[in-house]
Copies of this chain bind each other. A is one copy, B any other.
């Protein structure tokens, strides 16, 4: 693995797993009405994180551009999840914010 990418790839995959888990858990919550944006952003965030991780591991020339878009979506998703008190939302918010930070460093 390209050494410079290792932390960011790990953060992306941890974020993807946290977002998938959060989306599925939100869909079982009683207060579903409040979780619309959380689910919507979780779906997007999980999938861009997986693609960003793939492009880094492929050592693609386009990895930085993808990390820049990924950082923005992670930031949005982490901010939204952070508003909710469920454990899966709080865990997801942390994973998203960490991933946003790693992706910003990578995109710089």
Please report whether the interface of chain A is mostly helix, strand, loop or mixed according to DSSP.
helix
B44 and A60 within 8 A (CB) = yes
User: Which of the four size classes fits the interface of chain A?
Assistant: 35 or more
Residues of chain B lying within 8 A (CB to CB) of residue A69 = 62, 65-66, 69
Is residue A59 within 8 Å, beta carbon to beta carbon, of the partner chain? yes
A53 and B2 within 8 A (CB) = no
| Contacting residue for A58 out of B24, B50, B72, CB 8 A | B24
A9 and B1 within 8 A (CB) = no
B55 and A44 within 8 A (CB) = yes
A1 and B18 within 8 A (CB) = yes
| Contacting residue for A50 out of B32, B50, B60, CB 8 A | B50
Closest 9 pairs between A and B when the two form their complex, measured CB to CB: A20-B57, A13-B13, A24-B58, A17-B57, A21-B57, A20-B58, A51-B51, A65-B69, A1-B21
